[in-house]
Amino acid sequence: MKDRTLLWLAFHLTFQASPGAGRRALGRFHDVGDIFLARPPDLAGLGLPEDASQAIRSGEALVRAERELEIVRRKAYTLLTLEDPGYPRYLREIFDAPPVLYCAGRPEVLEDPAVAVVGSRRPTPYGRALAEKLAGELASRGCAIVSGLAVGIDACAHWGAIRNGRTIAVLGSGLDVLYPRVNGGLAEKVMERGAVLTEFPLGTQPLQRNFPVRNRIISGLALGLVVVEAAERSGSLISASFALDQGREVMAVPGSVMSELSRGTNGLIKAGAGLVETWEDVAGGLPSPWREKLLAQREEKVDNNRDSLSEEEGRLMKELPADAAVHVDELAERTALPVAGLLALLLGLELRGLVVQHPGKLFQRRI
């Protein structure tokens, strides 16, 4: 008998462009291996394109899978199939669970209870601060944070989780085509503390059509999904729709009625989504026993980084808001510190994860 992972990978590569045909094939054949022993009449009626059907009959489907599997193993990636015990429990339950997942990093994190945090690619300082705060406080209590590695709220959620716990990034491309490139360093950190995950084969480019497809995995991995900031037409609302279809709890952070980025989140709350102000609100929306386990950890976490601030650093942190960004010149006026010394202090605080710098020498305190 051929390697089970190889058979599932061959199935995945052959049927990925025709998921409906794949579901019909799994319903018709007793075992995934039987598909690759099928005669032409057995494959008829699946709705499979002729080139894919020919690849099965000729054996090319298995040859392609062997080549892919060799590269996967050489790169030390992990493949998880639907029948593997390490395949994420909640993702397995969704209607269109991917037959194969490619994983870089630590696949054991996929067994942790998880919450998805998603939102705008162009968040406000308020949104950035809330995403990091929520992700960090949930991660510090043993909850993995799932997001999509995109710039904006996704990246903030990953960074917040990395400092306190574990996180999972779901790609709309192959593992060897990390996107966006600007978040390459973040992806490496995610792999150290969690996992980068995708259903797309190696070499798959980040095509626009891939991202709505990957959003079902983000929501499917999680017990609940939190939208931090989103416009009226937003990819984050697609994730929320998937979450509802999958029976997950959908929650949203309210925002200013004057902001375009609050239209989506405020609309979700109007439609019945849970309103989120704190991590306890998120925990309270999760199913048992996770709700009780998280809420039992209400005590404040000690932040050693803040305990070790110098007098000047402490004075500077008091002048830095968490929900807005302030220009370095304004900070110099507030603190009576020279700009050169102030920039050095800010750099040190940024390296310790206490301050975030925005373009134009604007600075914000992390919550």
pLDDT digits (tens, 9 = 90+) for 13-56: 999 999 999 999 999 998 999 999 998 888 988 988 899 999 99
Give residue 1's pLDDT band: very low, low, confident or very high (50, 70, 90).
very low
Q: Judge if 66 and 157 occupy the same domain.
A: no
Q: Judge if 20 and 163 occupy the same domain.
A: no
Give residue 134's pLDDT band: very low, low, confident or very high (50, 70, 90).
very high
| Residue 278 belongs to some domain of the structure | yes
**HSE (CB half, 13 Å, CA atoms) of 164?**
26
Q: What is the pLDDT of residue 22?
A: 93
Q: Judge if 63 and 114 occupy the same domain.
A: no
Neighbours of 17 (CB within 10 A): 12
Domain count, the chain: 3
Region 308-319: mean pLDDT is 83
| Residue 219 belongs to some domain of the structure | yes
Whether pLDDT at 181 is above 90: yes
Is 281:251 a contact under the CB 8 Å cutoff? yes
Give residue 302's pLDDT band: very low, low, confident or very high (50, 70, 90).
very low
Give residue 307's pLDDT band: very low, low, confident or very high (50, 70, 90).
low
Render pLDDT for 144-156 as a digit per residue (tens, 0 to 9).
999 999 999 999 9
| Residue 81 belongs to some domain of the structure | no
Domain stop point among 249, 278, 295: 295
Rounded distance, CA 8 to CA 65, Å?
A: 9
Whole-number mean pLDDT of the chain? 92
| Residue 163 belongs to some domain of the structure | yes
Domain that holds residue 337: 304-365
Domain stop point among 265, 295, 325: 295
Q: Judge if 141 and 267 occupy the same domain.
A: yes
pTM of the shown model: 0.84
Q: Judge if 37 and 117 occupy the same domain.
A: no
Q: What is the pLDDT of residue 202?
A: 98
Domain stop point among 274, 295, 316: 295
Q: What is the pLDDT of residue 304?
A: 44
